[in-house]
Structure 1
Amino acid sequence: MKKIGIIITVSIVSLMAGIGVGKGVEGYRQNNKNGVQEESVVCEWKKPESVKSKLKDPDKCYLCGYDNRSLMGLFRKYDDLGIICVNNWYVLDMKIRNHDDAGNLTGPQGHINTTFTGTGEGGCFFHASPNSDRGISDVTVSYGENSILDVKFIRKHLCQDCLDKLIAVMETYGPEDEPWKPRDLCLVDFNTLELYSLQGNYSSYYVGDYYVEVDDSREEELKVTAVYAPELEKNGEKSGE
């Protein structure tokens, strides 16, 4: 897995109990109230070894190129984060900070823009509530029945470098007897085009000047909260104070 300066909010002891070398044990053998010994569940990290791109023209890459079916050419102007629904290549601007369509930062707008959008039948549904005046955005994603990553589709639309980045953040952790079935979601930094996991493996991490929390405690829903939290100066004050 690519290291991205992640701040883990679970204890090291709990984490090591679940990982080990390539595999881990989630839970442990214990007697229940009837004295019957319960079985442990053996878990492991899962991702495909490699996926080869079938995109012939790298300039048409949905992430770093300029295909007219992708809006990344527009979003790359923004100093902000977004969520990509990969199977439909729907890109949601989280609007953590106020900016115009050209990417220029603007002043307070005095309101919260709540939006509801979907990616079509069987896809994901987004409920976004950005409070850009304060540099905060909450997005809830409801999974659709077709929200498992479609590798055959995306290998046709990403260059090899971008495909490698995507697969790297699609690692999942679960019972060893279950197949690798990541959700078709990832986080993107519009400025750097770096991708980050939304598979529930991490509860929080930093992306540049942004702090991101991921809550996948509900079975068919994912909540992502992002906050603009630049580093304070030596005296603990904000820049310009």
Structure 2
Amino acid sequence: MTYITYSHQHLQLKSIARLKQIYSEIGCTVEVSDKRCKDAWITAIANYQTSKIQKIAPDEQALAQAELDHFIADQAQAIAPELLRIVEISFDHHEYYAGNQLVASISHDDDLTQPWVVMVEGKEKFRANTYARCHRFIQWHHQDSTLSEPLPIQTQTPPTTENRIMAHIFNECQNYGFEILNDGIYHNGVKLGQVGCTDGNWWVILSCSGQQQYSNSVYDAMRSLSMVDVSCDSKSIFDEYFLEQPLEQLTGDKLQRLLEKAELVTP
């Protein structure tokens, strides 16, 4: 392919003597209309160079496009991450492999709000309330090759004191058959009150008084809620939940609470 060597602007800067020299160097065969005129030499040189420009034939253009497409595809394949292979170890434990290399895993723990955990190289990378969110997290970061990069501290979600407090309250509510809602603890649709912990000090607010009272432990706080009278026959939640069970079905802890309440009378 022959390209234009001199532009029109470039030729305008040349003298007639230099234009004659260029005319000879490129082998120009276009006749100069007026050899005394600079513009005539420029026109002859420009016309000659234009005539030598070869256009790419359609088949050559198609071949060049095919080569370009193939090159782009090769580059995309070279930088694209390998597809992940998921191995189910158990219902709550899945491992993600790129080839034979373990790149991440998803497991489940006892956190009440975000029990699904993404682990990368033995370190917790991400937490969520569903397996699907952890799965998407791994896919996204694997595609942009950032799965192994350290996350900013503020984005990590390790177990917090608040989570542990909620776990204690939840477990005790299970023991008593209570239900935790956003605004407090309920039994059979009736609000009993609230239980919490501030600066390591447990407290309880009974719905009947609305006053916050300090307790020695979460067990004492929940026991206070169990004494709340919410029925017409003045039978407490403790009476309703524990005394309706046969004694042989009561655990040692529940039996101890029953004795403390002095509900069991011996002759």
Pairwise TM-score range, normalised by the shorter structure? under 0.3
**Structure with greater Cα Rg:** 2
Structure with greater helix share of residues: 2
Q: TM-score, normalised by structure 1?
A: 0.20
Structure with greater strand share of residues: 1
Structure with higher RCO (Cα < 8 A, 6+ apart):
1
